[in-house]
Amino acid sequence: LSNETLYGLVVAWDGSWEVLRNRITFNRAVGGKSVQVGTYFIYPLNLSLVSNTIGNNFATAETYGIYNINYYNGYMGIYRNNTVYIRNSETGHMAYGAYIEDESEVTFSGNIIDVVTSSNAAPITLYSSTNFKEVNYNTFYTKNSSESWGIGTGSFSNFNGYRTSGSVGSLENFNNVNFKDPSKSDYSHFCFEAQNNVPYVPISSPDISGTKRNTSKHDRGAIESVMDIQALSVYYNLPSTICAGYESSAQITVKNNFTDTVYNFNVAFSVNGKITKQLVTNKILPGDTLKVKFTSPVAIPIAVPTVVKVYVDAYDDKLSNDSFTYKTTVKAAPGGGKFEPSAKTSSPNIVTGN
């Protein structure tokens, strides 16, 4: 098509639309002032756009990944776990990852927007005078001579302006996720910052390929991958019988079985379900290990049958190698033990005499 607009998917007017797990790829509008729009929505009212890939579409003048106009309030606009990928080297080309003007209750969460052109790019333009329900857990990437970012009623020239606008959550990030093979529509990725950190909601599962999402926290984008941080070994001494008040230190060795560097995840131990977590900030390269000594001792204060677990707490996808479990019999400590604070009150013993 030349000097025309080519649409991948069009949804128009009133309804409660669920657009789930579609691939809109390799549509081309070439020549003159041609425009390509991946998904085009006009006054859809209620809309759920979830786990779609929109990639490798091309036009000479303008390319849009997601486009929606909905000026009616009192409805819901849900945009979750979509992957948008645009590459264009045309001089003067303008690319929009997501262009949305929506006065409904908007959730924009868990998406990956990757837009690179030789000229102008707007990874996200999300205009609304209505307070957003959630804009968080999205990953963006762009590399252009000119950028524009829009959120709420404000416009910014870079990601930092968008991130600090006050309209988005703290887990928005800017990363090149390095998709596996966009030329074959393979948008799986192995970027740790986009893995296992989006709170689960049922509509996001399964992913575009039919893979069930991690039901604790899942990946960003349309495809769920496997991320594994292993509890390789634990150094912890717990005899089979102890006295109340027993304390011991613990150390866990973790291994990165993932293909990207991992960091900022928790290790933890629990005593009869009472959890103590510790953040691991060290960066661990693929295949490497790290020994982490807990700064708090493992304390067993009272005489009850006790189970201690030491584990990786990273919401990863292979739970079978995450933990070590210890059991012991706890006897009352002769001469004491440790006092446990209590809100209960008691009356004093009073002795009187002549």
* Tens-place pLDDT, residues 336-348: 445 455 555 544 4
Highest mean pLDDT among 26-40, 83-97, 277-291: 277-291
The position carrying tokens 């006092």 is: 339
Q: Any idea what DSSP says for residue 202? A: G
User: Side chain identity at 344, as an amino acid letter?
Assistant: K
Calculate ∠ Cα 32-35-41, nearest 5°: 160
Question: Taking a C-beta distance cutoff of 8 angstroms, is the pair 67, 101 a contact?
Answer: no
Q: What is the pLDDT of residue 32?
A: 83
Range of lowest pLDDT (117-121, 135-139, 262-266)? 117-121
Q: What is the pLDDT of residue 144?
A: 81
- Compute how many other C-beta atoms are within 10 angstroms of the C-beta atom of residue 212: 10
Q: What is the pTM of this model?
A: 0.88
Give the bridge partners for 324, in sequence order: 310
Highest mean pLDDT among 27-41, 79-93, 193-207: 193-207
Residue 125 in this model has a pLDDT that exceeds 80:
yes
